[in-house]
Amino acid sequence: MENSNMHGEKMSLINELAQGRELARQLQIHLNVPSSSHGTRESLVQKIIVSYEKALSMLNSSSSASGGEQQLPTGHAAIRMIESPPTSLNGSPRSEDSDREFKDQDNKDSSRKRKTLPRWTQQIRVTSGMGLEGPLDDGFSWRKYGQKDILGAKYPRGYYRCTHRNAQCCLATKQVQRSDEDPTVFEITYRGRHTCTQASTSTTSAPPLPPPQNSMDIVDPQQNQQQPQDLLLTIPQGLTVVTEGLDAGDQELFPYNPLNHNYGGHFSPPFMGPTTSGTQYLSVSEQGFGGGGQSFQGAECEIPEILSSATSANNSPIAAAALGFPFGQADQNLYPNFSFDGPGFFPHSY
DNA sequence: GTTATTTGACCGTC
DNA sequence: GACGGTCAAATAAC
């Protein structure tokens, strides 16, 4: 086991470094292109930084522990991945649908689309004076469509979906649940991915990325740093962000989120831990963060169907695009181990 | 006037 | 029947 892990980490490290190199090349090209926008260059720079930081994190973590705890050497954030069941901090019935969805997928399959959406959770702690609502703003436009008192929870759960849901068929949704025990902690569960252009333009914010555990296994088990890294860009100082990895049902997650393009734009394959679930803690200094999230639910959009097709039609560029796969062919070169046809990748049709 | 939020009702799942 | 998630009308804010 360890050997395979070690090997996997090495491969991941190599991939990460290769990605960084490729990004540097792209930056070089852009620097020579007058028409290239500043934003594009910035994006590439950010990607390179992220890539190298991830590589460093891998080295750091591999030498430290295998307990799923990692620390970025960057100093501006402490990221911790904790393998833990997707339970809420407060013990409240947090996304109970986690298991429910899991069962559904297992048993019936997708009579209800929302049950098949990728989902991941972040726990955000507001440690210093910013509005408690601050953490809810992740740079994406969310529209609240519901609020519900949850059994066993002191605070109601808020339901949000992407503002561009109708206009751009963006199925991203998120649920915001305040912790009972610690009101400064918000548990944000994201569903689905942003497919709206907004996702690709909000480079200043770092909406949480879905922790693609599966992809992780396939591509790079250590890339989990990606998300935290991105989050750092927008999370207000003083906030502690805990990303609870994909819930148990994440076998269904696609590893990537169109969002990835946004943040810095790029994709970074998997940033979640090698395990099916995990928690990431981000401690940042204060300024505004936004918890972004996404999830899906719409029915008018055909994304789910497209995704489904994607699972059956391996390597379809269109499907990949629809899925928001960050990497194109070039990226695939960077991640030779990645494949769409792995049963662990798209275990179920969407 | 347009867009976002609130809130009760409805639906699906367990 | 209980519960969570979503819808949609009413209301508020811009």
Distance in angstroms (rounded) separating the CA atoms of residues A275 and A204? 29
Residue type, A39: G
A148 nearest nt, CA–C1': C4
Contact positions of strand C to protein Cβ (< 7 A): 2-8
Give distance CA A203 / C1' C13 (Å). Answer: 28
Cβ atoms A196, A134 nearer than 8 A: no
pLDDT at A159 > cutoff 90: yes
pTM: 0.48
Distance in angstroms (rounded) separating the CA atoms of residues A103 and A214? 18
Give the count of alpha carbons within 13 A of A84, CB side only: 16
Give distance CA A185 / C1' B3 (Å). Answer: 29
Please report which confidence band the pLDDT of residue A146 belongs to, taking 50, 70 and 90 as the band edges: very high
Token reading at A141: 């436009």
pLDDT at A137: 61
Residue type, A91: G
A97 nearest nt, CA–C1': C4
Contact positions of strand B to protein Cβ (< 7 A): 3-9, 12-14
Q: At what angle do helices A38-63 and A2-31 cross, to 10 degrees?
A: 160
pLDDT at A209 > cutoff 50: yes
A104 nearest nt, CA–C1': B13
CB-to-strand C contacts below 7 angstroms: A 93, 95-97, 114, 145-146, 148-153, 157, 159, 161, 173, 175, 191, 295, 297-299
Q: Name, in order, each residue with C-beta under 8 angstroms of A324's C-beta and a sequence gap of 6 or more.
A: A193, A194, A195, A254, A256, A257, A258, A259, A260, A261
Give distance CA A50 / C1' B6 (Å). Answer: 40
pLDDT at A185: 82
A111 nearest nt, CA–C1': B12
- Least Cα distance to A123 among A64, A171, A172, A183 occurs for A183
pLDDT at A144: 92
Give distance CA A117 / C1' C5 (Å). Answer: 13
Q: What is the three-class DSSP state of A213? A: helix
Token reading at A124: 């955000």
**Angle at A59 (CA atoms; ends A58, A63), nearest 5 degrees:** 110
Cβ atoms A208, A188 nearer than 8 A: yes
Mean pLDDT: which of A22-31, A89-98, A292-301, A330-339 is highest? Answer: A22-31
List, for residues A95-107, the tens digit of each pLDDT value: 333 333 333 333 3
Residue whose CA lies closest to nucleotide B12 C1': A112
**Beta pairing class for A79-82 and A185-191:** unpaired
List, for residues A175-190, the tens digit of each pLDDT value: 988 888 887 788 888 8
pLDDT at A33: 65
pLDDT at A50 > cutoff 60: yes
CB-to-strand B contacts below 7 angstroms: A 100, 103-104, 107-108, 111-112, 115, 141-148, 158, 163
